[in-house]
Amino acid sequence: MQQALDAPSGRIEEPVGLPSISPGGYVSDLIVDVLRASGCRYVPLNPGSSFRGLHDSLVNHAGNRDPQLLLCMHEEIAVSLAHGYAKASGDVAVAAIHDLVGLMHASMAVYDAWCDRTPLLLLGGGGPAATNARRPIDWLHSAAVQAQLVRDYVKWDDEPADAQGLLDSVARGYQLAGTPPRGPVYVTLDADLQERPASGDAAVPDKRLRHPAAGPGAHPEALMAAARLLVAARLPVVVGGRVGLDPRATGALVGLVELLGAAYRDDRNVVAFPTDHPANLTGDRALLTEADAVLAVDLPDLRTVRGMPSSRDRARDGTRARPATLAAVTLDPLTPSSWSHAGQAPVPVDVPLLAEPITAVTQLHAAVEDLLSAEPRDARERRTRRVEELSARRDQLRARQQAAVSAAWNQVPIAPARLVAEVWEAVRDRPWLLTLRNTRSWPEGVWQFPGAGSYLGHSGGAGVGYGPGAAVGGALAARDRAQLGVAIIGDGDLLMAPGALWTATHYQIPLLMIVNNNRSFYNDEEHQHVVAQQRGRPEANAWIGMRLEHPAVDLATLARSFGAWAAGPVTHPDALAGALAGALRAVDDGQVALVDVHTAPA
């Protein structure tokens, strides 16, 4: 990636007639003061009277700057925008949500953020709890313990009953969302309380109440057990997971992998290691079946390394449980859910390390170094040979991966692999952030990632409709550091929330969005094939109730209707480079550009 350029600022909707300094006269003004003091830059929202006090304060007290209000077409977009922004920036992100109906719209996006361990401070308008303050609509839109709706998939929620309690809870929300294991929190802001004049004794809480603590390190005994396991292994493999969002992870993982002479692979939908590193065997399906020791670093689902799982995995690898001894670093046991089964498959772990993952990897490095200082010479030689073998194995893997892309190169409809290769060629020499990518059909080894922080991963909860908002949120954080947000999105995902494009065009958030448009909710076509096979029924019917054809949606026109530059549908592979070049000229001009590409289902 090239050096970042000067960051553009985007459109600000300037309020008029404000005094140069607006005194904080209302409780909601003080809430905005807490947000500002906490470094909050944006509040995505769809408007609602349950937070009209807060809305007024954002505009007329804070002048719509730091934080700036970002209008979204749907609460799911507002929350997924915050989700993408938080993952790209590393910061706690805020969204405001109207009571009950807005929260119901938002709830899938909240679940995605919870599964993805993403730090969000969700501010929900609420009540008023005081019945004499309720308008007729408030009886429809308020509930006792409003947060009940999302309580099972937020880290914490609160519904404060007085002004100071409200300010304290917003501060505490910041702290809890940002403290590992991170996650979304939800604070109900009573509408009546928001709108009250601030009494003299309500004050912005001490900043130390907002500060998150660093996550814990690993227990020394567990650390030693993991270090011994990895040093003694014939073929140790390190697998990186959610740490792929934190740029600090790459140095720590590379250091440990090189010290051990281990192999490395990314977990599904994650990038934490440089693609061109000789130990990076991501995409090598046999690796985990051959490993005798695996270190899993912050994986949301350990079945991906342990095996033994779904019929689909068995069909792919031909394996049941993989025999390797497993050490796993995670903080997940600290936040179990009694409702969702996410991450709760019973996977045996030999050496559990309850620790903040990057801290634990750094600690492991030191422990392994100690052990290796007493290593006999023949063991060192074995390790050197292994590094050479792994490097050769990686070269062969890359050659196979390249051959697979070449074989599909001229395919019509366009192969997703060609699409990815062309997008990579188009953006490789500029500062990019990949905000979304194909989940099922990503061709490994084509896109050259420098490591963690360059790709935002997927939704977490596998909720389709996450993509459009998250792509815009990621592109917003990218814009602010003078990178270009690049999204490769499914047509089904885009069509669940296309209004996100308007938020991007309106606020001048440059974004390159390429639609991998197979004109189907194709993932589920595959399921109908499986059922048809199991039942001996015609697979030819798998497309029914899945395909987005007759008419195919004109995505370029849809994008233009939101103010974006658009091209497509691109149907021939040789037309891709030209369409992408046009899109890049548009984004260089500060626009949102969408390229609709008709691809083969894969």
Ligand X SMILES: Cc1ncc(C[n+]2csc(CCOP(=O)(O)OP(=O)(O)O)c2C)c(N)n1
* Site of interaction with ligand X (CB under 6 A): 108, 440, 462-465, 490-493, 518, 520-524
Smallest distance from the beta carbon of 492 to ligand X, in angstroms?
Answer: 3
Instruction: Provide the 3-class DSSP secondary structure of residue 251.
Output: helix
Q: Which is nearer to ligand X, 419 or 504 (CB)?
A: 419
Which amino acid would we find at residue 82? A
d(CA 457, CA 88) in angstroms, rounded, equals 10
Q: Which is nearer to ligand X, 180 or 463 (CB)?
A: 463
- Residue nearest ligand X (C-beta atom): 490
Q: Which is nearer to ligand X, 491 or 596 (CB)?
A: 491
Smallest distance from the beta carbon of 472 to ligand X, in angstroms?
Answer: 16
Smallest distance from the beta carbon of 515 to ligand X, in angstroms?
Answer: 9
Smallest distance from the beta carbon of 420 to ligand X, in angstroms?
Answer: 13
Smallest distance from the beta carbon of 535 to ligand X, in angstroms?
Answer: 21
- Nearest partner of 514 among 480, 484, 491, judged by Cα: 491
Q: Which is nearer to ligand X, 112 or 190 (CB)?
A: 112
Could you give phi then psi for residue 296, rounded to 5 degrees?
-100, 120
337-346: long-range contacts at Cβ-Cβ below 8 A with a sequence spacing of 24 or more?
A: 337/152, 337/153, 338/152, 339/152, 339/153, 340/111, 340/114, 340/115, 340/152, 340/153, 342/115, 342/300, 342/461, 343/115, 343/300, 343/301, 345/301, 345/302, 345/303, 345/309
Smallest distance from the beta carbon of 549 to ligand X, in angstroms?
Answer: 13
Tokens 């440059």, residue? 510
State the DSSP H helix or E strand holding residue 37, giving kind and residue range, or none if neither: helix 27-37
- State how far the alpha carbon of 499 is from the alpha carbons of 279, 392, 504, in Å: 42, 47, 9
Q: Which is nearer to ligand X, 509 or 546 (CB)?
A: 546
Smallest distance from the beta carbon of 84 to ligand X, in angstroms?
Answer: 16
Q: What is the DSSP letter of 212?
A: P
Smallest distance from the beta carbon of 525 to ligand X, in angstroms?
Answer: 8
Q: Which is nearer to ligand X, 290 or 524 (CB)?
A: 524
Which amino acid would we find at residue 487? A
d(CA 340, CA 180) in angstroms, rounded, equals 20
d(CA 575, CA 561) in angstroms, rounded, equals 23
Q: Quick check: 149 and 218 in contact, CB under 8 A? A: no
Q: Which is nearer to ligand X, 415 or 586 (CB)?
A: 415
Listed in sequence order, the DSSP H helices in 38-122 are 52-56, 75-89, 101-115
Q: Which is nearer to ligand X, 115 or 166 (CB)?
A: 115
d(CA 296, CA 414) in angstroms, rounded, equals 36
Smallest distance from the beta carbon of 74 to ligand X, in angstroms?
Answer: 13
Contacting residues for 565 by C-beta, under 8 A, at least 6 apart? 559, 582, 583, 586, 591, 592, 593, 594
Q: Which is nearer to ligand X, 111 or 447 (CB)?
A: 111
Smallest distance from the beta carbon of 438 to ligand X, in angstroms?
Answer: 7
E runs forming strands in 302-399: 325-330, 351-354
Smallest distance from the beta carbon of 259 to ligand X, in angstroms?
Answer: 39
Q: Which is nearer to ligand X, 60 or 516 (CB)?
A: 516
Residue 402: count other Cβ atoms within 10 Å of its Cβ.
14
Q: Which is nearer to ligand X, 359 or 441 (CB)?
A: 441
* Token pair for 384: 């050197």
Q: Which is nearer to ligand X, 178 or 461 (CB)?
A: 461
Instruction: Provide the 3-class DSSP secondary structure of residue 580.
Output: helix
Q: Quick check: 510 and 8 in contact, CB under 8 A? A: yes
Smallest distance from the beta carbon of 413 to ligand X, in angstroms?
Answer: 13
